[in-house]
Chain A
């Protein structure tokens, strides 16, 4: 389930001439009607669009219903977005208590505040920003979300759900799997045969099995490996499984970055008398990770999409609560609306991340 490469952007030839109409005409001629085959293709595409788009528009917008509070409101013949609207809190927060939802909102605001300096291309102390994002922020968010201290009402993890759960899972998994992946990548390139064999074994084992079996193992088999009386929260168990699984993919991505660092860098660092760990930490890894950023972003997008799989092992993520809502007797018959909504939510998040990854890749390419 790992991603392909972030593609380079293709620049169509473009000539601007004076006068918009003339420019448009020449653009059309150059891009749509330059040869017979192209003209035919253009007509085919236009015909197909004329066939598909109007009904889609009528269903999704023109004849759709958004107002009202019961399914009786939906009689336009189009989509019933009312179903989505009245359940928005459920889809975003799951069964998180309504009185405490501000804590989720605040956590998201904090996430934005902490993530912004890391994501900005020109940040002076990126190292510090990353450190805060993976230490201070999770601590604050954990206190806010779980509660139980500072007079905050405790909220069990089995009340967490909806899109919020997907984001929590994705964040924790990235924060946990990236460091582990770096260690594994270094291990795989190590000259120590035992370390290398262990790293390769670990990576190939996880990459060879489906995520679903790994999640299922976390739900069913992990408890058997814990001593009597010790039990782990099921969300924590799923997180551990996701971290181990994704660490293997991160390792391969980081390894790609490591291979992009010129060997001369290591030799220079070595001749300066730096030890192996300091050489990796100060010289090699910063360069390797910078090269690997676009691929890491791809892995994060894949991971975010895969958080939907937790719905199969009984956690109520966005897809899980949508499926549950679909069998509510008061709101039967809107599976298309439900799944389209879930897909759209994921699309917005993933597309934004992919676009960010592409931008970084362009900057890297320009800097080379």
Chain B
């Protein structure tokens, strides 16, 4: 496991550097973005999220959207429009998600979707920032007495169709000369039910989704995660349309603002107090007292303050969704870089 984390850490740092600097190097003129203009004109952000999976995005019993991806959507709305509830959430299926984004129906897609070369190049999409690092994880019944992935040779695994998961399994089978069978499902509801009923020996998805799946099993305690992940590091994050760099930049820096808030130790509870005439230059920049960081993104300078006050820092959001108050998934790779994780960001000056 440590080997993977180390390798992943390197890739992640590299990715963050590339994403951060390659994007900002081109950022000369302040925002002139068709998407940003459209969002402001509409007075509402249209955010594509999952149709419903605990952890990332789901509607609670009262019909309110919750989750890690949802928090990012709300933060963008908060930055641009000054209110975290000016978002229209569109639940998208894995099949249609990129088409819906490309057509302009949604402004940004934050739907536990993996960053990949093909999606960046062939599908014409930008990949602003990663809000969840994971790897394709396998969940099996403890009663199978399987401890490692290669032992699943001959087993059948439930998978959602229209994902990178199928390809990863095909690659893994070929590399290890084994045969893990797959059963392809259209919707998570049926896939979860089939796994629970014993139609498959296990379920696979990214680590966060598997944790969500386990929470819907009849006896979650009967299930365990295998230590190996396949398909390398799976960075999940937001997607935007190519050709609107200013918008992509804004989406990216909204995520970075939530990370910066955690680094600076700003929480929802104390954001307003700490914004009262701080001395620390980092805090002054964050709260928009020095510099014109908001203007450069095409929003006002209090954008980051609002995010910290209304949404909270990244750590708080993680805790409420995947962490102890949510699905109980350890922070792991999603720790800040100085805690051995991959969540890193460029400096602000």
Q: Do A and B come from one complex?
A: yes
Q: Which of A221, A312, A327 contacts B216 (CB 8 A)?
A: A327
Q: Which of B96, B99, B189 contacts A327 (CB 8 A)?
A: B189
Which of A43-51, A202-210, A223-231 makes up part of the contact surface?
A223-231
Interface residues of A in 112-169 (CB under 8 A from B): 156, 158-159
Decide: B89 and A158 in contact? CB cutoff 8 A: yes
Closest Cβ of chain B to A321, distance in Å, is 10
Chain B residue at minimum C-beta to C-beta distance from A237: B105
Closest Cβ of chain B to A86, distance in Å, is 10
Q: Which of A223, A229, A323 contacts B187 (CB 8 A)?
A: A323
Decide: B99 and A323 in contact? CB cutoff 8 A: no
Interface assignment of B95: CB less than 8 Å from any CB of chain A: yes
Closest Cβ of chain A to B184, distance in Å, is 14
Chain B residue at minimum C-beta to C-beta distance from A94: B63
Decide: A314 and B96 in contact? CB cutoff 8 A: yes
Decide: A95 and B63 in contact? CB cutoff 8 A: yes
Interface assignment of A324: CB less than 8 Å from any CB of chain B: yes
Query: Cβ of A328: which chain B residues have Cβ within 8 Å of it?
Result: 216
Chain A residue at minimum C-beta to C-beta distance from B98: A220
Q: Which of A159, A219, A234, A327 contacts B192 (CB 8 A)?
A: A327
Query: Cβ of A333: which chain B residues have Cβ within 8 Å of it?
Result: 218
Query: Cβ of A313: which chain B residues have Cβ within 8 Å of it?
Result: 93, 96
Decide: A326 and B189 in contact? CB cutoff 8 A: yes
Query: Cβ of B187: which chain A residues have Cβ within 8 Å of it?
Result: 312, 323
B177-202 to A contact mask, C-beta < 8 Å, 1/0: 00000000011111011001000000
Query: Cβ of A326: which chain B residues have Cβ within 8 Å of it?
Result: 189, 193
A328 to B96, CA, bound (A): 24
Closest Cβ of chain B to A318, distance in Å, is 14
Interface assignment of B102: CB less than 8 Å from any CB of chain A: yes
B78-96 to A contact mask, C-beta < 8 Å, 1/0: 0000000000111111011
Q: Which of A159, A224, A327 contacts B188 (CB 8 A)?
A: A327
A159 to B93, CA, bound (A): 16
Chain B residue at minimum C-beta to C-beta distance from A315: B91
Q: State which size class the interface on A falls in.
A: 20 to 34
Closest Cβ of chain B to A182, distance in Å, is 32
A156 to B44, CA, bound (A): 12
Chain B residue at minimum C-beta to C-beta distance from A156: B88
Decide: B215 and A329 in contact? CB cutoff 8 A: yes
B91-132 to A contact mask, C-beta < 8 Å, 1/0: 111011001101111000000000000000000000000000
Closest Cβ of chain B to A185, distance in Å, is 34
Closest Cβ of chain B to A233, distance in Å, is 9
Query: Cβ of B95: which chain A residues have Cβ within 8 Å of it?
Result: 216, 220
A332 to B215, CA, bound (A): 10
Q: Indicate whether A324 sits within 8 Å of B99 (C-beta atoms), given known contacts A156-B88, A314-B93, A333-B218.
A: no
Interface assignment of A3: CB less than 8 Å from any CB of chain B: no
Interface residues of A in 333-367 (CB under 8 A from B): 333, 335
Chain B residue at minimum C-beta to C-beta distance from A95: B63
Query: Cβ of A226: which chain B residues have Cβ within 8 Å of it?
Result: 103
B150-187 to A contact mask, C-beta < 8 Å, 1/0: 00000000000000000000000000000000000011
A337 to B103, CA, bound (A): 39
Decide: B104 and A314 in contact? CB cutoff 8 A: no
Decide: A158 and B88 in contact? CB cutoff 8 A: yes
Interface assignment of A97: CB less than 8 Å from any CB of chain B: yes
A95 to B62, CA, bound (A): 8
Interface assignment of B208: CB less than 8 Å from any CB of chain A: no
Decide: B186 and A312 in contact? CB cutoff 8 A: yes
Interface assignment of B302: CB less than 8 Å from any CB of chain A: no
Decide: A324 and B189 in contact? CB cutoff 8 A: yes
Interface residues of B in 186-232 (CB under 8 A from A): 186-190, 192-193, 196, 215-218
A329 to B52, CA, bound (A): 13
A326 to B191, CA, bound (A): 12
A251 to B186, CA, bound (A): 33
Interface assignment of B24: CB less than 8 Å from any CB of chain A: no
Interface residues of A in 208-256 (CB under 8 A from B): 216, 219-221, 223-224, 226, 228-229, 231-232, 234
Decide: B103 and A314 in contact? CB cutoff 8 A: no
Interface assignment of B325: CB less than 8 Å from any CB of chain A: no
Query: Cβ of B105: which chain A residues have Cβ within 8 Å of it?
Result: 223, 231-232, 234
A288-322 to B contact mask, C-beta < 8 Å, 1/0: 00000000000000000000000011101000000
Q: Indicate whether A234 sits within 8 Å of B63 (C-beta atoms), given known contacts A223-B99, A224-B103, A333-B218.
A: no
Closest Cβ of chain B to A227, distance in Å, is 10
A313 to B162, CA, bound (A): 13
Decide: A335 and B90 in contact? CB cutoff 8 A: no
Query: Cβ of B88: which chain A residues have Cβ within 8 Å of it?
Result: 156, 158
Decide: A324 and B104 in contact? CB cutoff 8 A: no
Closest Cβ of chain B to A121, distance in Å, is 42
A312 to B96, CA, bound (A): 11
A314 to B106, CA, bound (A): 15
Interface assignment of B51: CB less than 8 Å from any CB of chain A: yes
Decide: B216 and A332 in contact? CB cutoff 8 A: yes
Decide: A231 and B92 in contact? CB cutoff 8 A: no
A24 to B105, CA, bound (A): 67
A314 to B57, CA, bound (A): 14
Decide: B63 and A231 in contact? CB cutoff 8 A: no
Q: Which of B38, B52, B103, B218 contacts A324 (CB 8 A)?
A: B52
Interface pairs (17), CB distance under 8 Å = A95-B59, A219-B99, A219-B100, A223-B102, A229-B38, A231-B103, A231-B104, A234-B105, A314-B51, A314-B92, A314-B96, A316-B91, A327-B216, A328-B216, A329-B216, A332-B216, A333-B218
The list of the 5 closest CB pairs from A to B, nearest first, reads A223-B103, A95-B63, A323-B189, A220-B99, A327-B216
User: What is the interface of chain B, defined by CB distance below 8 A to chain A?
Assistant: 38, 51-52, 54, 59, 63, 88-93, 95-96, 99-100, 102-105, 186-190, 192-193, 196, 215-218
6 more contacts with CB within 8 A, not counting A314-B93, A327-B216, A328-B216, are A95-B63, A221-B99, A223-B99, A231-B103, A234-B105, A314-B96
